[in-house]
Amino acid sequence: MKYPYGISDFKSLITEGYFYCDRTDKIPLLESTKSQLFIRPRRFGKSLVLSMLENYYDVAKKDEFESIFGNLKIGKNPTKLRNSYFILKLDFSCVDPTGSAEEVKKALFNHINGCIEEFYAFYNYKGYELSQIKINFDDALYSLKSLVSSVRMTPYPVYLLIDEYDNFANTIMMGVQSAKKRYEALVHDEGPLRTFFKAVKSATSGSMFDKVFITGVSPVVMSDITSGYNIAKNIYFEPKFNDLCGFRENEVRRVIEQVVAECSFDAEKTDEALNLMKTYYNGYRFAFGLDEYIYNPTLCLYFFEQFQEMCTYPRKMLDSNLAVDESKLEYIAQIPAGRDLLMTLVQKDQGVVLSDIEDRFGIKEMLTDKSKDNTFLVSFLYYFGVLTIAGETEELQVILKVPNLVMKSLYVERLQKMHLPEPEDRDDGREAAKLVYQKGKMAPLCRFMEERYFKVFHNRDYRWANELTLKTAFLTLLYNDIIFIMDSETEIGRRYADLTMIIRPDKRYGKIFDILIEFKFVKLKDAGISAEQARQLSENELEQISEIAKQIKGGEKQVQEYGKKLEQRYGNLRLQKFVVVALGFERVCFKKV
């Protein structure tokens, strides 16, 4: 089987025999509305959907319909509108967002003009004899009007496809604060982006642009140009389009079964591989009222390709093409309330609760409002795919969570850089963490925490410090999803272990340990000593403090019980069990059980 990793050309994908999960049955559903906005995180297959629409509706590809769609769902029962449009396709990811506002405007106009020139050349080559379209390189809106005039003389309307409509805007907004003026220049009353969408709206009402389909990552641009383009129907929350991009679990299973057979594995390997993919890649839901989560298609194709070629799982489960999403977490971490949110999301796997997801926010919220509330921050992370819908509370509020392990790794990495900004400190911390699972030695990591990590916590951190804070600090250094299935708050017999690190099934040949840690936190006032006194204690004296001794004893009982349950669940574990107790942010001791 050939996997279309990085391929978004629908025709090539189908005619050259690549793997494809058929979504052509969604085409009739999309025909019901003139103008639609479809939002999904990056690398989720939006461009392939646009290419599907392009090939289905393009009048110039009428003779190729059977070869492209004949074996697909829509080919068995096509709609009346198939192959009845001229296609004008714009891709705003091609617009250079750097430079001054005037330079960005020029880049936008150059792209639009270039696409119009290509439109004219293509359809004339195909024999449709359009009247001359006049290109104004200083004013792409003039060029657009000329295109409309030319098309008006034919029996075919235009289907306008816009890919990544917010790409250059998001890139600008992820930059420095001075980017605000550049962006506002594009979307103010006479700005080129607002006036472009006004022109599209006008052409739509005049039936020349009979249909418009727009994709993007967030609704930020639409919020800023509402008066210029208020006719797009947002379809990204509709249940019927939840799987328009992404793979369903039964589709993933079928591919794994084929690879398992080709690699001559036992049938049990299918469940093992599927469980691994579920842990790392599953967890996306974009609509309410559904039980099914979908898999990130780019990550799945990355896994399938390597699994089939090598008959082994990928060493790194995170495709590096998705790693750039960390910039969104960096943006959140720079906001006063954002830092606390990232800590919460790593600590509490059950997710965060909102009244509702924001469906509009503009440049002012993105760049100037320093008092951003939790609703804005969480909604922002939802649109960029680092949070997803987990369900609703009994009070009908929205629950959002970190979707899977690869996304959680981005959170952990951002927290590590936030707490340990110096690369040397991060390197030393990771080396100390390696000794825990390589040698079963906890002491070096505890000393590192005392001497270097805890020094970065501010006074306000100390006020709300607890064992979750302690666990998060250790997690940022111990996190390793290349070797382990990392899980905080692991459910074990209706109770929850603080941190488990279970070796991936394909990595069990290594000479390393599975890890189970229970964290405890004792406040200085509960121990009856000051910070200065705590720093003067020997390790033996530290362990003799009654409250610490009590916590160690309770933790020992917990890890022994959890350890037995983990052995029953997995079998053949090389489990190292620890109780780690912190005294404020001054001292750390541990007990190996």
Domain shared by 483 and 570, yes or no: yes
Q: What is the pLDDT of residues 297-323, one digit of tens each?
A: 999 999 999 999 999 999 888 877 766
The letter for the amino acid at 243 is D
Domain boundary among 279, 299, 315: 315
Identify whether residues 586 and 461 lie together within a single domain.
yes
Q: Quick one: pLDDT band at residue 576, thresholds 50, 70, 90?
A: very high
Are 309 and 436 found together in one domain? no
Question: Are 478 and 567 found together in one domain?
Answer: yes
CATH of the domain at 230: 3.40.50
28/174 same-domain check: yes
* Joined tokens for residue 329: 């977490």
> So what's the pLDDT on residue 173?
64
- Helices assigned H by DSSP within 42-139: 46-57, 65-69, 73-76, 101-125
Q: What is the pLDDT of residue 463?
A: 55
Considering the domain boundaries, does residue 348 fall inside one? Answer: no
pLDDT of res. 418: 82
Query: Would the pLDDT of 372 be above 90?
Result: no
In a domain, 230, yes or no: yes
- Average pLDDT (398-410) is 86
Give the residue from 216, 391, 219, 218 showing the smallest Cα distance to 293: 391
pLDDT digits (tens, 9 = 90+) for 229-265: 777 889 999 999 999 999 999 999 999 999 999 999 9
- Are 206 and 303 contained in the same domain? no
Residues making up the chain, counted from first to last: 593
In a domain, 227, yes or no: yes
Residues 563 and 513 in one domain: yes
Task: Find the mean pLDDT for residues 546-567.
Answer: 93
Residue 537 DSSP symbol: -
- 189: how many CB neighbours lie within 10 A of its CB? 9
Tokens of 150: 């030319």
Note whether residue 501 is domain-resident.
yes
Same domain, 140 and 200: yes
Structural domains in the chain (count): 3
Residue range 434-459: mean pLDDT, rounded: 88
Question: In the prediction, which pLDDT does 489 show?
Answer: 62
pLDDT of res. 587: 93
CA distance 434 to 437: 6
Kindly give the interhelix angle for 192-205 and 140-152, rounded to the nearest 10 degrees. Answer: 10
Q: What is the pLDDT of residue 303?
A: 94
- Whether 488 shows a pLDDT value over 80: the answer reads no
**Where a domain ends, among 315, 341, 371?**
315
Is the distance from CB of 119 to CB of 161 less than 8 angstroms?
no
**For the whole model, what pTM was predicted?**
0.88
Domain boundary at 287, 315, 343, which? 315
Q: Compute the average pLDDT of residues 368-374.
A: 62
Average pLDDT over residues 469-497: 80
Q: Does residue 369 surpass a pLDDT of 60?
A: no
Least confident of 85-94, 103-112, 167-176, 281-290: 167-176
Q: Domain for residue 369, yes or no?
A: no
For 63, the domain range is: 10-241
Kindly calculate the radius of gyration of the chain based on its CA atoms and give it in whole angstroms: 28
Candidate ranges 69-83, 164-178, 315-329; pick with highest mean pLDDT: 69-83
205 or 381, greater pLDDT: 381
Same domain, 52 and 175: yes
Q: So what's the pLDDT on residue 70?
A: 95
Please state, in angstroms and rounded to a whole number, the distance separating the CA atoms of residues 514 and 573.
Answer: 6
d(C-alpha 140, C-alpha 111), whole Å: 9
pLDDT confidence band for 174 (50 / 70 / 90) = low
Q: At 28, which helix (H) or strand (E)? A: helix 27-30
Q: Are residues 114 and 179 in the same domain?
A: yes
Does the residue 195 lie in any domain?
A: yes
Beta strand pairing call for 398-401 and 352-354: antiparallel
In this prediction, residue 349 has a pLDDT band, given cuts at 50, 70 and 90, of low
Per-residue pLDDT, 444 = 97
Same domain, 219 and 183: yes
Output the pLDDT for position 291.
Answer: 85
Closest CA to 286 of 40, 46, 48: 40
Q: Is residue 20 part of a domain?
A: yes
Kindly state the average pLDDT of the residues 503-515: 93
- Judged by average pLDDT, the poorest of 12-26, 119-133, 337-351, 530-544 is 337-351
Task: Tell which residue, 480, 519, 475, 477, has the closest CA to residue 502.
Answer: 480
Does any domain span residue 389?
Answer: no
Mean pLDDT of the residues in the chain = 87
Q: What's the confidence (pLDDT) of residue 263?
A: 96
Q: For position 162, what pLDDT does the model report? A: 96
**Residues 534, 571 within the same domain:** yes
Instruction: List the Cα angle 50/54/57 in 5-degree steps.
Output: 130
